[in-house]
Amino acid sequence: MKVKLLRYLANLGYGTRRDVEWMLREGRVTDADGEVLYGDDKVPHAVIRLDGQPLDPPPGLVLMLNKPTGVTCSTKDHGQLVYDLLPERFALRDPVVSTVGRLDRDTSGLLLMTDDGQLLHRITSPKSGLDKVYEATLAQDLRGDEAATFASGTLLLEGEHKPLLPAELEVTGPRSARLTLHEGRYHQVRRMFAAVGNHVESLHRARVGGLELDGLAPGQWRYLDAADIDRLFGRG
């Protein structure tokens, strides 16, 4: 660790500098052997304990959340936010833990979050080639020509001048489908079905790159490790 412990803990969101000073004075911050640490100390992240517990991951944190419907991908908005589903200190970290892209309030499913700006850019960059899989329930029966339209590479969304990249549609029922996208435009799935005369009643993101929710319940989250990141980019 290159910075002093006082600043480091504050940057991890454990409180203001004053809050952390109080924790240190109370002897709540120790090493793994129970030896009290001080604000000027510079010690490895892995040995630090707060109230006897290891710290959250160091900068470079990545997590996966199964976002429920009714929750907004924002730091400030009306109603419930994704940050309400996480430890409060995550929103106070510096650098901040940000959503990787967004899912709208009415869309559920796999949402990645990280405080690693370079990784965030890498995931969202078109160069990454990460596909995203959505499961949609529709208001009307599918006509049968949607798959060909979405795969054509010629579909224009309302108000746009650049056609969509080809996308793959798998029909899973008269009014349900699985759609694989290779780009991420604003409300893209909903607008695609609107373009063919249908309406999305429910939408769930099931996969990003090589990552799936793997049984993670709505509202639950977990940290991602190096093996998960390899899977995300198709290396696992």
- The C-alpha atoms of residue 179 and residue 16 are separated, in whole angstroms, by 45
Rounded to an integer, what is the distance from CA 214 to the centroid of its chain?
15
Q: Which of 147, 135, 132 is nearest to 184 (CA)?
A: 132
Catalytic, 84? Answer no
Residue 44 C-beta-side C-alpha neighbours within 13 Å = 3
Residue tagged active-site, from 31, 104, 106, 131 = 104
| β partners of residue 108 | 204
List for the chain the helix, strand, coil content (%; round to 5). 25, 25, 50
Strands (E), the chain: 29-30, 49-50, 53-54, 62-67, 98-99, 107-114, 132-138, 168-173, 176-181, 200-208, 211-212, 221-223
Task: Kindly state the tokens that stand for 30.
Answer: 């120790």
- Positions annotated as catalytic residues are 104
